[in-house]
Amino acid sequence: MLRSILILASLLCAPLPIVQAAPLQRYESVRPLMGTVAKVIVYADSPTAAHQAIDASFAEMNRQIAILSDYESTSEVSRLGQISPGKTDIGPELWDVLSYSEKISQATCGAFDVTIGPLTKAWRRMRRRRQIDPQEIADHLPAVGYAKLKLDPASHTAELTTANMRLDLGGVAKGYIIDAGLKTLRDHGLKHALVDAGGDMALGAAPPQSAGWKISVAQSKQPGAEVMIVELANCGVATSGDAYQFVEINGARYSHILNPHTGYGVTTSRTVTVFAPTAMQADAWASAISVLGPQQGFAALAQHPNHAAAVTTLEQDKLVVEKSKNLDNWLTAH
């Protein structure tokens, strides 16, 4: 009996076998999204886990596009514009984007403004015709101005206070949407992940055995432009500028990025890259600094020390690179 007890005790005290976790492997998917292509990269312990998470991520991003895109006539943001002047309840996604946009508008004195929708639509037509209509621009300006959009936090309602208002979330929604894509991957247990949509990136935890995601940030498409090679994790990156979307009319080059105060496309050729805690923040500030320029843009951005930026401007056929004072330290910290 004593011998049996000793044998049982030795079995109970024996060390449990060590179960080795499956090594994480890299999986990638590239699919059309928001008029560009989006790339999702994850590290997972099985193809099944990776593909399920990636599919869920794209499904969530497409769900939000159906809410936030002004290209979709049935989207919530499009339907909101159709009630102007008027007031209505809005859903959580649209509320998040509009309330954050209001803060950026205030911080930049209106250089960032989601009520620019009437001018955006006018410029789409003018770019196709390659002809500017100054009277059409002047006619739309009275409907533009972020203060004309009233948000009520208590009731989660939005009010368009002027006739013919339309909202364009193009300067902020892409970042918000890819942030949601990254969150979905995390919710599926994949923290080592990256979502890239046309150069805007939402970065999760670094790949295994790496300090960060190694990415290259082109500061301009001009020959000889500086390329930043950085390793980053758990942050957002966005680049804005006129490298691809611009039109030349009567010898002048107009960016697709519009100045809300004048109604015209930005005529200075510049590329802006912003680094921030989220892709939405980086997206909005890249758009704002594209309008403000580096001097005013960096001054406004300085109120947000967890953001940093670099601007490359084409001046008399020379590229001038300017960086926010905290950029080097920000990149080192992330």
pLDDT tens figures, 15-73 = 555 545 668 999 999 999 998 999 999 999 999 999 999 999 999 999 999 999 998 88
Please state the φ and ψ torsions of residue 79, each to the nearest 5 degrees: -65, -30
Question: Residue 85: is the preceding peptide bond cis (ω within 30°)?
Answer: yes
Residue 238's CB is within 10 A of a number of other CB atoms, namely 31
- DSSP character for 161? -
Q: Per-residue pLDDT for 122 more than 70?
A: yes
Beta-ladder partners of 195: 40, 202
Question: Is the torsion defined by CA of 288, 291, 297, 303 positive or negative?
Answer: negative
pLDDT for position 4: 47
Q: How confident is the model at residue 1 (pLDDT cuts 50, 70, 90)?
A: very low
Q: Per-residue pLDDT for 161 more than 90?
A: yes
Q: Which pTM value belongs to this model?
A: 0.90
CB 70 within 8 A of CB 114: no
Q: Per-residue pLDDT for 97 more than 60?
A: yes
- DSSP character for 116? G
Residue with tokens 């250089």: 111
As a whole number of angstroms, the distance between CA 180 and CA 247 comes to: 32
pLDDT for position 158: 97
pLDDT for position 79: 95
Q: How confident is the model at residue 223 (pLDDT cuts 50, 70, 90)?
A: low
Q: Per-residue pLDDT for 8 more than 50?
A: no
CB 294 within 8 A of CB 313: yes
Find the range with the poorest average confidence among 32-36, 178-182, 190-194. Answer: 32-36
47-68 vs 92-107: helix crossing angle, rounded to 10:
70
3-state SS class at 304: coil
pLDDT for position 256: 85
Find the range with the poorest average confidence among 24-28, 123-127, 149-153, 257-261. Answer: 123-127
Convert the pLDDT of each residue in 240-274 to its tens digit: 876 556 777 777 788 889 999 999 999 888 899 99
pLDDT for position 5: 43
pLDDT for position 108: 97
* Domains identified in the chain and CATH numbers: 76-160 (1.10.3980.10), 211-334 (3.10.520.10)
Q: What's the mean pLDDT when you consider all of the chain?
A: 90
pLDDT for position 243: 58
Question: Is the torsion defined by CA of 141, 272, 299, 294 positive or negative?
Answer: negative
Find the range with the poorest average confidence among 16-30, 100-114, 272-286. Answer: 16-30
As a whole number of angstroms, the distance between CA 320 and CA 304 comes to: 24
Of residues 176 and 218, the one with the higher pLDDT is: 176
Query: What's the whole-number mean pLDDT along residues 104-117?
Result: 97
Q: Of all residues in the chain, what percent carry a pLDDT higher than 90?
A: 72
